[in-house]
Amino acid sequence: MAFLELADLRVKYGNIEVIHGINVRVEEGDIIAILGANGAGKSTTLLTISGLVKPSGGSISFRDAPIHRFPAHTIVKLGIAQVPEGRRVFGTLTVRENLNLGSFVSKDKQAISKTLAWIYELFPILSERREQLAGTLSGGEQQMLAIGRALMSRPKILLLDEPSLGLAPLLVMTILQTLREINRSGVTIVLVEQNARAALKLAHRGYVLELGNVVIEDDSAALIANAEVQAAYLGGGIA
């Protein structure tokens, strides 16, 4: 069994099926990129892994546990955390209060303190602004906070939905470099990202979704070299 496996996964919204029996394997230590146009089913796939959307068929296994049957809070406790699209920080709470919310699965104060110190090391600006209201942060700082909040649960798998959305290119590079560092610390990453070139340069493997189906899967280098992927997602050429 893979570390995380989606087998013949199907998802419906009402009577409309939006994910049509996809198969995805994630090995421990991987960075996996999920690519596709708007409406391809990328975000729905992450939400279903997180337990926020229930599948209509198929299964999701994490370390052999059938997590598609579990509620979202149990999935977090097992070690899967999501950074949602649009950041969704609590604007009327401080940076520190937002981070504290991410640690709800742990009662070990020493471990929480250690994790918080690690997050401040990853994102020094969050340490500088720990008493600042999250709603007053820049978009990039809010994205760092959203990632930090998810890391407070010490996940084994981190799911990220469009972390570069709306950010300046230089800041996107900083965020992606930090994700590589997080991965090197032992966190497996599943990344949904419109910036296909940046995602594939970061990831080990990738899946391309079209209208709820996996149409291409391969390692990142092969996807970057794939003429179809180049034409559809990489502007027709290789950087």
Q: What is Dmax (Cα atoms) for the chain?
A: 51
In sequence order, which residues have a C-beta less than 8 Å from that of residue 112 and are 6 or more positions away?
A: 103, 106, 152
What's the confidence (pLDDT) of residue 237? Answer: 39
Helix (H, G, I), strand (E, B), or coil: what is residue 108? coil
pLDDT at 57: 97
Report domain extents, the chain: 1-79+158-166+190-239
Q: Which residues pair with 157 in a beta bridge?
A: 80, 188
Q: Are 214 and 42 in contact (CB under 8 A)?
A: no
Burial 127-159 (b: 16+ CB within 10 A, else e): eebeeebbeebeebbbbbbbbbbbbbbbbbbbb
Q: What is the pLDDT of residues 133-145, one digit of tens each?
A: 999 998 889 999 9
For residue 145, the model assigns a pLDDT of 93
Dist. CA 28–CA 57, nearest whole Å: 25
In the predicted model, what is the mean pLDDT of the chain? 91
Banded pLDDT at 235 (limits 50, 70, 90): low
Per the listing, tokens 């502007």 go with 235
Question: pLDDT digits over 202-230, tens only?
Answer: 999 999 999 999 999 999 999 999 988 88
Supply the pLDDT for residue 238. Answer: 37
Q: Point out the least confidently predicted range of 23-37, 76-90, 198-212.
A: 76-90
Give 17's DSSP letter.
Answer: E
With tokens 């999501």, the residue in question is: 82
The larger pLDDT score, comparing residue 237 to residue 79, is at 79
What is the tens place of the pLDDT at every residue in 44-67?
999 999 999 999 999 999 998 999
Q: Are 202 and 30 in contact (CB under 8 A)?
A: no
Please tell me the predicted confidence (pLDDT) of residue 126: 95
**Residue 239 pLDDT > 60, yes or no?**
no
Q: pLDDT tens for residues 159-208?
A: 999 888 888 888 888 899 999 999 999 999 999 988 888 899 999 999 99
236: pLDDT strictly greater than 80:
no
Phi-psi region of 80 (alpha: psi -120 to 50; beta: other; left: phi over 0): beta
Residue 54, number of CB atoms within 10 A of its CB: 12
Reference 52, options 95, 17, 30, 81; nearest CA is 81
Class of domain 1-79+158-166+190-239: alpha beta
**Helical axes 109-122 vs 169-184, angle rounded to 10°:** 140
